[in-house]
Structure 1
């Protein structure tokens, strides 16, 4: 909790942490309206999966150039530029009048999301280096906090009655707060380093962690994009509970990340990842019960299980010797986002060909894969 108090007591740390919150508010507000958009455009689950693939395509289009943009502008300025870009791009998916325009809108939302994700993680990495203080896990906790705010906002859906108006109000508020805070990080630049040529050996220690990032972020993306539809179609939840799974997931994800640094220091990184995989697997068993209340509890356990994995990966990626922090973060983001954004696409095709329940059995298998990976890590340590 020390890092949480650090963020809340000093605007130098709160300002970048709120950028994390903002990204999840924009993305989450779009996500809770996925069932609405699906019905409005009269598309099936496979078509929705393809549309989400365009979001993934936008992210991966920006990855090769993100570090160049960040290094040219400076990490602080690049973060603010990405905040402005996301504020605009978040509005268009809910305005899309057709399936094809939805795909285009999601592509540009994905590109702006990808740039902001790399920029803000690089920003925190550089502030950590400069100030000799760790708050990466807590910053990711603030990302999850954005999901809580979105989940709470989902209870206002019947009252607002207009998806675009909901997003517009949200964007204006979030942008205004970011505008008031940007002065605290705008001038931050990456510290100069002695670069080394890229080699497989240089990144070899990160590859197994990349697998963990792929699977854990893939599961996170699947729950964000499909939990509402699962509760609506499988457990037949009432409308006011459709966003409850995402809310429960986000609450426990937030709490887990606020305590993550402390727990990791007590039991070690490998054990915390293994324990998280077990908790996530139990969560999927609850989700697959088909009962609304148990499914919501299951999503909460999922959030707790996956909460602490990704922040440590970004910190490692931003501190690889001989590699610019933006490039290291981009490497981790690439493996993680590959799961985060392609996972829901695969889930969509599986749901259309088989069933949504089958897709969640697949996610249970992913939790087992993460647990198996921790045994490999333990074997390497011996």
Structure 2
């Protein structure tokens, strides 16, 4: 056991002494989360971004609740250091000022924008959405892009929130927990509880880079074989099982530490409430185990460290897309949402979201069980492949 632990700690030390690796797996997700926080107005005004006081005109032709919410966001204190908004009534005049370069962008909220988020009270169906129109100054593409990103993210958050409320109200109605007359008031109360997008994107980005972290760990198995390090290990009084066991434990521990550090940093930097601490640890551990399983499978089917890197990067991106690291699964369609079940990202996000919503340990039983089952299946498959290639992998 001591030899296995020594190999494990050696691999973890190698991983976290690599400045480039640490920048990718720790700083990378934090930077992406901060960027998403800036465009969603999730930071206090004291956290001033580098780009500041972007002049933007707002033309509200709708006047509905969602239009008011967007206007409040653009003109509110959270974005006061980022935007310099001005309400405008004449769309043509606003566009002329944008073309002339007087302002970076004009946001037009068309009539019917708010109605596009409100389901039919009889059928529950949503009407065709009415899209926002954002016009940018060609001479200020970056500043116009920031305004466009904020508007698009608001729309995505609104759509996600409406879908969540719809599902909850349908459940209340079908279970008899609420009468039809009570549903509108309940829906309004739920809609007033604004969701902090950082609570979604922080774990989403951490899970995206978790796959990359385990790929780095798996790559050491083949790179050390090429460099002769494994041969020197085996020349010492250590068994093949201890070597492989130490490698597996090192990959898992590296992924676990990465996730835990990101959780702690996001709690401190973004004031996020992750929910039940024990539940958070269980989700982190099970997600790291499942990701380790995928990392081992990649190493088992690869012949060199370059293949590990290529396959790992491909899986990282595919799992990020299918698992909801970029867009919530409910917005991708039923087919892609079901396909996301093969990814550790999807199940871990389910667990983190349940805990962030205030649910207890019973709410994460299914996600944790799915992650552990995934890890077990992948470990069994990888072990079988390693046994077939044992002499090749460990000796070369």
Establish whether TM, by shorter chain, passes 0.5. Answer: no
Which structure's residues are more often strand, by fraction? 2
Which structure's residues are more often helix, by fraction? 1
Instruction: Tell me: higher relative CO, structure 1 or 2? Use CA pairs within 8 A at least 6 residues apart.
Output: 1
TM-score (norm: length of structure 2): 0.34
Which has the larger Rg? 2
TM-score (norm: length of structure 1): 0.35
